[in-house]
Amino acid sequence: MSDLIDFLKTRSSTPIVGLIEPAPSADELAQILTIASRVPDHGKLNPWRFIIYRGDARIQIGEMLAERAAQRAQQQNEEFNDSHREKELKRFSRAPLVIGIICSPRDTDRIPEWEQFLSSGAAAMQLCNAANALGYGSNWITNWYSDDEEGKRLLGVAPHEKVAGFVHLGTPKAPAPDRPRPELQAIVSDYSGPYQG
């Protein structure tokens, strides 16, 4: 049990540029997704699904996102140069494997949509933990295309769905860097009555 505690205490994200081949094998990926599905889920709704982006699909997605980003820049009267285009082309091909965690809310009066979205976020975190436990690096991001309706469509996300995140996976080139973490006294307090503003 102490090994698990040590693992959780030292968890960190690997920069996407630090993720290289190999990606998880088919068996490992099945294990990762099985673990990612084992999260709190009020009402047993399974309000999430996973989209796997791999191989040449990542290149095709980059081309579509670059075109969409250029359209957005034009609509917003912003610059879009070769550097911007190159960045968009590589969005999904920087890591060997990308998994989209998609909140696909169920229509129910009992469980609010925000609670279903939280369950999707838990699935994303569990996915990262499972991949890390198998020795892979992970990086969980959203980015502009998560909130852009056309960007979502290009990525296979339906209009009624929300993106909880895109987890980039691969073998870390180097140990993941740590960053400053909050001191507990800054984020923990005992209840002291109704909020007064």
Tokens of 72: 């957005």
**Across-strand partners of 48?**
103
> What contacts 30, CB < 8 A, 6 or more positions away?
none
Task: Please tell me whether 38 is known to bind a ligand.
Answer: yes
* Residue with the two structure tokens 């809310």: 105
Contact call for residues 99 and 53 (beta carbons, < 8 A): yes
Task: Please tell me whether 142 is known to bind a ligand.
Answer: yes
Burial 89-104 (b: 16+ CB within 10 A, else e): bbbbbbbbbbbbbbbb
Task: Please tell me whether 141 is known to bind a ligand.
Answer: yes
Task: Please tell me whether 140 is known to bind a ligand.
Answer: yes
CA atoms within 13 A on the CB side of 46: 4
Q: What is the 3-state secondary structure (H, E, C) of 86-119?
A: HHHHCCCCCCCEEEEEEECCCCCCCCCHHHHHHH
Task: Please tell me whether 146 is known to bind a ligand.
Answer: no
Task: Please tell me whether 11 is known to bind a ligand.
Answer: yes
Q: Which residues are annotated as a binding site?
A: 11-13, 38, 42, 140-142
Extract the annotated binding site for FMN.
Answer: 11-13, 38, 42, 140-142
